[in-house]
Amino acid sequence: MPRFLDMERQSRSLIRASRKPAASSAGEGESGSAAETEGSGARYGLFTAPREGMSKMINRLREIVEASGTVRSQTRVESLARTPDGRFTLRVCPQDAAATDEQFDAVVVALRTHHAAELLGGETASKQEASIPNVERLTELLRSIEYSSAAIVVSGHRLENVKHPLKAFGLVIPHTEGRRILAVSFTSRKFPGRAPEGRVMLRTFIGGALQPELLQQTDDELFQVVRQELASILGVSGEPDFERIVRYNNAMPQYHLGHLDRVSAIESLVAGVPGLELVGNAYRGVGLPDCIRYAEASANRLMESLAQTESV
């Protein structure tokens, strides 16, 4: 987070930096600057989301790909092996149908690293071990990246039932506070159109690397945890308009000390396999902009490598 480093260097503390007036250019506002108005709508240049939600991005991407290719959803790739001519055989298993082996010139593995390791080091692949050089070292490195889980409770409330003025984008809670939630995002304060007039939508984060045991609880138990914490921290009372829970199991890679060295080692092993790329949030950034930047670089490398193969 180089932005935070800069803020700390320039202002000596993050809180001091966040209290400074927002930078003049739109989109460069400091995170955490106080909201100016009560009305709904985005007031923090740092946060951006499609008006109709994140699925808009995926649906648009799908449309673009389908203009010249095929997208198969609900389809599991069960194994990956390299053929002697440098192509790839994938065992593709659609939901409710038999698996088939199919050949591809190039493959981008966009899976969590433990799944990528299963695919590259799986039974079918190990027969082809000689064709993916150092596959054992590669899968060992991939498996060494730890993941944590989280759950999100999304809830809707009447503003009259919330004592706190919610003049912020949310809150993040340090572990030392001994709370049972990690953070709350005031979603309808960050983005326009997420809640009707007089209502607010909150997203409460639970679990993470430090409180994994909480995720053993049932959905109803977690709703209770969230209600108690929101009441205590924000003065939220009464029945929420709605509550939903989404669980993200083993979804957040943990960038432990030495992460960049591990990633460099993975990248150099993958570079030795023309036509293969690994992308996703486990390598050089968890946020979507980082994932997209990393994936674009991989796609460009792949296109270059395919062009070279064709010209040979």
Ligand X SMILES: Cc1cc2nc3c(=O)[nH]c(=O)nc-3n(C[C@H](O)[C@H](O)[C@H](O)COP(=O)(O)OP(=O)(O)OC[C@H]3O[C@@H](n4cnc5c(N)ncnc54)[C@H](O)[C@@H]3O)c2cc1C
Give the footprint of ligand X on this chain (CB under 6 A).
76-77, 110-112, 115, 150, 152, 248, 251-252, 280-281, 286-288, 291
Q: Which is nearer to ligand X, 152 or 202 (CB)?
A: 152
Q: Which is nearer to ligand X, 120 or 162 (CB)?
A: 120
Shortest spacing between CB 310 and ligand X, in angstroms? 27
Q: By C-beta, is 111 or 166 nearer to ligand X? A: 111
Q: Please identify, using beta-carbon distances, which residue of 38 and 288 lies nearer to ligand X.
A: 288
Nearest to 39 by CA among 274, 276, 197, 248: 197
Tokens of 311: 């010209």
Min separation Cβ 249 and ligand X, Å? 10
CA distances from 106 to 25, 80, 280, 307 (A): 42, 11, 17, 12
* N- to C-terminal Cα separation, the chain: 43
**Interatomic CA distance for residues 208 and 251, integer angstroms:** 10
Q: Which amino acid is at 139?
A: T
259 CB-near residues (< 8 Å, 6+ apart): 145
Q: Which is nearer to ligand X, 28 or 38 (CB)?
A: 28
From the CB of 208, what's the least distance to ligand X, in Å? 9
- Residue closer to ligand X, measured from CB, 58 or 271: 58
Closest CA to 90 of 129, 126, 139, 125: 125
User: What is the rounded CA–CA span in Å between residue 109 and residue 116?
Assistant: 7
Cα-flanking dihedrals φ and ψ of residue 149, to 5°?
A: -115, 160
At its nearest, how many Å lie between ligand X and the CB of residue 198?
25
Select 238 or 260, whichever has its Cβ closest to ligand X.
Answer: 260
Closest approach of Cβ 80 to ligand X, in Å?
9
Minimum CB distance to ligand X, residue 248 (Å):
4
Q: Which is nearer to ligand X, 76 or 293 (CB)?
A: 76
Give the helix/strand (H/E) hosting 276. Answer: strand 276-278
CB of 78 to ligand X, least distance (A): 7
- Which residues, 6+ apart, have CB-to-CB distance to 67 below 8 Å? none
Residues 267 and 277 sit within 8 Å (Cβ to Cβ): no
SS3 158: strand
Closest CA to 305 of 165, 108, 141: 108
- Taking each helix axis from N to C end, the angle separating 259-271 and 135-143, rounded to the nearest 10 degrees, works out to 150
Q: Which class for 61: exposed (0-12), middle (13-18), buried (19 or more C-beta within 10 A)?
A: exposed
Amino acid identity of residue 84, one-letter, is P
Q: How far is the CB of 158 from ligand X (least distance, A)?
A: 25
Query: Residue 160 or 290: which CB sits closer to ligand X?
Result: 290
How far apart are CB 186 and ligand X at their closest, in Å? 13
